[in-house]
Amino acid sequence: MSLAEDAPIGSARRRRVRASVLAAIGLAVAALVVVAVGLFAPGGGDVAPAAAGSSAPARRFEIIDVHVHTTPRAQPRLLELMRQRGIQSVVNLSGGTPLSGLDEQLAAAARAPGKVIVFTTLAYEEAAFEDYGSRMAELVRVAHARGARGLKIAKVLGLAMATRDGRRIPVDDPELDPVFAAAGELGMPVAIHTGDPEAFWLPVNDSNPRKEELEAHPAWSIYRRRVPSFEALLGELEVRIARHPKTTFISVHFGNAAEKPDYVAGLLRRYPNLYIDTAARIPELGRHDPSAMRAFFIEFQDRILYGSDLGVGPAPTPLFLGSQGRTAPTAAEVERFFDATRRYFETDDKNFDHPTPIQGNWKIAGIALPPDVLAKVYHHNAARLLALE
Ligand SMILES: [Zn+2]
């Protein structure tokens, strides 16, 4: 999911600041609707019928999904889904802040020990204050003391978050240094979404790979908006990662650049503190040459984390499966979301449907990772990073 999943709302002034942030990029609205307000349309079924047409091997790996969005009220549903799918633990990236939502999220997670790991969210609305960097850093410290295990930063940073006098706050803004320093000191990985996907900058026409998704969500397009280029934002992110070698970064959605794995490989070679997750980017990865992608996963087998971008609200609202169409996903689409993901990692099948059809009208090919690499990507890397069993 996308922008400001969980920013709390304080004073009227804060509300105005936040409103302008949201207005600048419509994505935030969608994210808020899906997660905070929980307005999933009814009709999505979670229960998986037998997979059709998959040749995924029978062996099941324990999975830690480092990229999930959920709410306290949805937890029973989430736990049932995890049981069905062999998911040992999830990271909830919509944890909120000590000012709003975090305590409820932590209380829910505490009822399922080891199952739900909560990341706090950057307190975006603090941008309304002059000393926003130190305020946000202090809230990260408070969140850690209460039980948050990492920090999530949505792409509102870089695209829309602005100071009280209207200056865009870049990803590498020095005022924010204390936030990243605090996360490093406290051993909290920083899951950061910047810019991605590139297609949201492009005109919405037949040559746009995300045409269908952008037609369903016109507000997600930033074509001709007054924002930096995709490359400029990635540049800011790199400066940020380079500046904090003692802070672990999880650059979400395949390093925020699933379109260009060679670029992501360069970053991973340069910055040992950088990890990436796979959330909602199997469609994009599946377009690349499978032998090159296999080589990528083998080279960086200790730095890639399984993530899905699954959104789980209270039943009967539909699941968010890495994206969302105009209508609720069918049971078959829910099944394909999980099945096609495994099929990509575990088989060398060719020409099959990817997990999120709205994210591109093409077929993908699997990369048949060796079992020891699969175990690391599905489980061991995240277990090590999050100090789980
Ligand atoms: Zn997400």
Q: Which pair of structure tokens corresponds to residue 75?
A: 């937890």
Please tell me the total number of residues recorded for the chain in this structure: 389
- 325-338: average pLDDT: 81
Rounded to the nearest angstrom, the distance between the alpha carbon of 309 and the centre of ligand 1 is 5
Q: Which pair of structure tokens corresponds to residue 356?
A: 């999120």
Rounded to the nearest angstrom, the distance between the alpha carbon of 23 and the centre of ligand 1 is 20
- Give per-residue pLDDT as tens, 350-367: 999 888 777 777 899 999
Rounded to the nearest angstrom, the distance between the alpha carbon of 226 and the centre of ligand 1 is 24
Rounded to the nearest angstrom, the distance between the alpha carbon of 81 and the centre of ligand 1 is 18
Rounded to the nearest angstrom, the distance between the alpha carbon of 252 and the centre of ligand 1 is 8
How many angstroms separate the CA atoms of 306 and 268, rounded?
16
Q: Which pLDDT band, with edges at 50, 70 and 90, does 45 fall under?
A: very low
How many other β-carbons are positioned within 10 Å of the β-carbon of residue 351? Answer: 8
Rounded to the nearest angstrom, the distance between the alpha carbon of 2 and the centre of ligand 1 is 6
pTM for the predicted model, two decimal places = 0.85
What is the structure's pLDDT at 59?
57
Rounded to the nearest angstrom, the distance between the alpha carbon of 31 and the centre of ligand 1 is 9
Q: Where are the domains of the chain?
A: 10-43+62-385
- 135-156: average pLDDT: 98
Pairing state between β 249-251 and 190-192: parallel
95 touches 101 (CB < 8 A): yes
- Give per-residue pLDDT as tens, 53-98: 445 544 578 999 999 999 999 999 999 999 999 999 999 999 999 9
How many angstroms separate the CA atoms of 133 and 325, rounded?
36
Rounded to the nearest angstrom, the distance between the alpha carbon of 140 and the centre of ligand 1 is 19
Q: Which residues pair with 232 in a beta bridge?
A: none
Rounded to the nearest angstrom, the distance between the alpha carbon of 68 and the centre of ligand 1 is 7
Rounded to the nearest angstrom, the distance between the alpha carbon of 67 and the centre of ligand 1 is 6
Rounded to the nearest angstrom, the distance between the alpha carbon of 320 and the centre of ligand 1 is 10
Rounded to the nearest angstrom, the distance between the alpha carbon of 29 and the centre of ligand 1 is 14
Pairing state between β 320-321 and 310-312: antiparallel
Domain spanning 10-43+62-385, CATH architecture = Alpha-Beta Barrel (3.20)
How many angstroms separate the CA atoms of 329 and 338, rounded?
13
Rounded to the nearest angstrom, the distance between the alpha carbon of 191 and the centre of ligand 1 is 10
Rounded to the nearest angstrom, the distance between the alpha carbon of 335 and the centre of ligand 1 is 19
Rounded to the nearest angstrom, the distance between the alpha carbon of 1 and the centre of ligand 1 is 3
Rounded to the nearest angstrom, the distance between the alpha carbon of 122 and the centre of ligand 1 is 14
Using DSSP, state whether 295 is helix, strand or coil.
helix
How many other β-carbons are positioned within 10 Å of the β-carbon of residue 242? Answer: 14
Rounded to the nearest angstrom, the distance between the alpha carbon of 376 and the centre of ligand 1 is 21
How many angstroms separate the CA atoms of 174 and 29, rounded?
28
Query: Closest Cα partner for 255 from 229, 239, 237?
Result: 237
Assess whether the previous peptide bond of 272 is cis (omega < 30° from 0): no
- Give per-residue pLDDT as tens, 90-145: 999 999 999 999 999 999 999 999 999 999 999 999 999 999 999 999 999 999 99
How many angstroms separate the CA atoms of 70 and 82, rounded?
13
Rounded to the nearest angstrom, the distance between the alpha carbon of 311 and the centre of ligand 1 is 8
Residues 6+ apart with CB under 8 A from 36: 5, 6, 71, 94, 101
